[in-house]
Amino acid sequence: MKKWSTQFKKWFADVSNIPEDVVLGVPRITLIGQFRLSIENYQNVLAFSKTELKLMLNEGELHISGEDFVLETILEKEIVLQGRVNDVRFVNN
Amino acid sequence: MRHTIQHAEGYLKAEIKGDDPEKFISLCVREHVKMWHIIRKNETTLICFMELIDSKTMKKWLKETNCRVHILEKNGLPFLLKKLGTRLGIVAGVVFFITLMLVLSNMVWSIHVEGADAKLEEQIRTILKQNHLYEGSLDFFVPDTSQLENALSTKLTKVTWIGVSKDGTAYNVDVVQKKYPKPKEVTGPRNLVAAKQAVVQSLFVESGQPVVESDQFVRPGQILVSGMVGNEKSSSFVSAKGKVIGETWYHTEVRIPLVSHYALYSGKSYQKHQLILWHLSVPLWGMKKEPFKTYDREKIRKPIRFLVWQTPFTYVREQFRQKKIVMRNLTVNQAIEEAIEASDKKLLDKLPKDSKIISSTIDNKKIVKGSLYIRSHQVVYENIAVPQAINVAKEKQKMKKKTD
């Protein structure tokens, strides 16, 4: 059933021209250069340190690693990270 | 920089310690508490900026997440005010200094009076003082320069022109005094002649030879008192002096409206004070829009200065004076009485000072379009003598001819 609904949502987003992240509730990740990363539609902060940020998403986790991380803004739906981003990785268990 | 708005509400820089400080941050974010610029200090500590929250809920959340908070900095307006509260003396000093400067900047420091002699200057200064303008008075209570000019010129009769101007904190009063030409007196030998056609009533002669008698009709230019004394053989010339009271007649015409409207001040007045900042006006005192039905309004604008600068504030004072329209209805008899009074007054204004109206009689009266027209004639006793110089040489020649 769940697969069905995601399929439908994907199809709807495709047809209606509404961005997928709005329809599906998946994260939208914006990376500006290497120094600013904003993530919308995240669920929770799991861990944060100078070199690493772990976020929980709707499905799976997002691991970001780099240097001199500062959480510039943290809101319910959006998080802005500053520093030097080396790696953005999705982890699905 | 994007969090400068937070200054007004106040914010903290805090250290959050615990096994899992991210939990506390997540909780705060879920509860819509703003947080920004989060840095990891070491394994157990996060440093963050956060807005002020209730200490009770803060404690509750800390207990829930098993964290502790250590406040590093307190910033923003609430803390600044608290700090200032402890330095009340300095704050009071600064406020006192600013108000003192403001008061001193809006004070009248000097009044220059130019073109007036000492006596007139004293008079001008007392009148200005009655209008709240003196050295050391506040500019807000001083009326407009045009009003000052009015007040001065109505009270001072010796002045042809008076100008009041304002130059910063100084007022300048420029005066042009009337200079009367010295009355030319005929001091040499002279006659007194009649100025008008009249019947002589009485003569008071100090020096000279009276030539006319009482009840004599005289024409203008006729000699009344001669300056030539003595008989034809041995005569001398003197300056004739004296008064000749003659009876004269005048016609006057006066129009008196039977129904007239007057505007009278009832004595009630209402003051409004406002402070204007650019186009925004803040009423300070007096909220009524129109205190009276009929009124005269006086508006005085005073821009507030600070040292050499003009502040955007303007102090405005409005005075409303209640006015009552009064209708006066005159009966014909009352109107006649008034008409006579008015015509007598009108006549006396034209005549020399000591003149007396002996009788006034109405010749003709008619009412046209609600107005009473009266023609009357007055009998007046007045001094008709006017000095006229004698050409001594000519006179002597004349006499020589006669004697020859």
pLDDT bin (cut points 50, 70, 90) of residue B83 is confident
B19–chain A Cβ distance below 8 A for any pair: no
By residue count, chain B amounts to 404
Q: What is the mean pLDDT of residues B66-88?
A: 87
Closest CA to A36 of B200, B2, B8, B155: B2
Residue of A nearest to B1 (CA): A72
**Percentage of chain B with pLDDT > 70?**
96
In chain A, residues with a C-beta closer than 8 Å to the C-beta of B35 are 71, 74
Q: What is the average pLDDT across B357-373?
A: 83
Per-residue model confidence (pLDDT) at position B232 = 66
* Domain extents in chain B: 6-81, 110-177, 187-258+330-404, 265-320
Task: Please state whether beta strands B170-177 and B110-114 pair in parallel, antiparallel, or not at all (unpaired).
Answer: parallel
**pLDDT grade, residue A35 (50/70/90)?**
very high
Q: Min CA distance, A42 vs chain B (Å)?
A: 11
Q: Alpha-carbon distance B42 to B60, whole Å? A: 24
Give the residue on A whose Cα is nearest the Cα of B44: A49
- Per-residue pLDDT band for B1 (boundaries 50, 70, 90) equals very low
Q: What is the mean pLDDT of residues B21-30?
A: 88
What number of residues does chain A have? Answer: 93
Band of pLDDT at residue A54, cut at 50, 70 and 90: very high
The pTM (predicted TM-score) of the whole model is 0.45
| Subunit contact A48:B35, Cβ cutoff 8 A | no
Average confidence (pLDDT) over B298-317: 83
Nearest to A44 among B26, B32, B38 (CB): B26
User: What mean pLDDT do residues B237-264 have?
Assistant: 85
Chain B contact set for A77 (CB, 8 A): none
Residue among A49, A72, A75 minimizing CB distance to B29 = A75
The mean pLDDT of B74-92, rounded to a whole number, is: 85
Pull the structure tokens for residue B194.
Answer: 């009649």
Burial bucket for residue B355 (CB in 10 Å: 0-12, 13-18, 19+) = middle
Q: Give the end-to-end CA distance of chain A in Å, rounded to a whole number.
A: 20
Question: Which of B13, B26, B47 should be substituted to probe chain A, the one whose Cβ sees the most A Cβ atoms within 10 Å?
Answer: B26
Q: Which of B11, B23, B29, B42 to mutate to test the interface with A (most CBs of A within 10 A)?
A: B29
Q: Is the pLDDT of residue A76 over 60?
A: yes
Q: Considering only the beta carbons, identify the residue of B35, B39, B40 that sits closest to A74.
A: B35
DSSP state of B288: -
B178-225, pLDDT tens digit by residue? 777 777 666 678 888 888 888 988 888 888 888 888 888 888 888 888
Using a CB–CB cutoff of 8 Å, tell me whether B35 touches chain A: yes
Q: Which residue from B25, B36, B43 is facing A45, i.e. has the nearest CB?
A: B25
Contact of B7 with chain A, judged by CB distance below 8 Å, is answered with no
State residue A83's pLDDT score. 92
In a mutational test of the B interface, the residue from A38, A45, A69 whose CB has the highest number of chain B CBs within 10 Å is A45
Strand ranges in B279-370 using DSSP code E only, listed in sequence order: 280-285, 295-306, 309-329, 356-368
B198 is written with which tokens?
């009249």
- Is there a contact between B212 and B404 (Cβ–Cβ < 8 Å)? no
- Does any CB of chain A come closer than 8 Å to the CB of residue B194? no
A–B interface: beta-carbon pairs under 8 A: 37
Distance CA B188, CA B14 (A): 111
**Coil, helix or strand at residue B386:** strand
Give the pLDDT confidence score for residue B233 in this predicted structure. Answer: 67
Nearest to A45 among B22, B32, B37 (CB): B22
Check if B135 contacts A (Cβ < 8 Å): no
Contacts of B36 in chain A (CB under 8 A): 71-74
Q: Quick one: pLDDT at residue B94?
A: 92
Beta bridge mates, B246: B200, B382
Domain B6-81 in this protein, CATH class: alpha beta
CATH 3.40.190.10 assigned to domain B110-177? The reply is no
**What domains are defined for chain A?**
26-91 (2.60.40.2000)
Inter-chain residue contact B29 with A76, CB threshold 8 Å? yes
Please give the Cα distance from B6 to B13 (Å, whole number).
Answer: 12
Task: Decide if A71 and B37 are in contact by the 8 Å CB cutoff.
Answer: yes
What is the spatial distance between Cα B208 and Cα B238, in angstroms, rounded to a whole number? 6
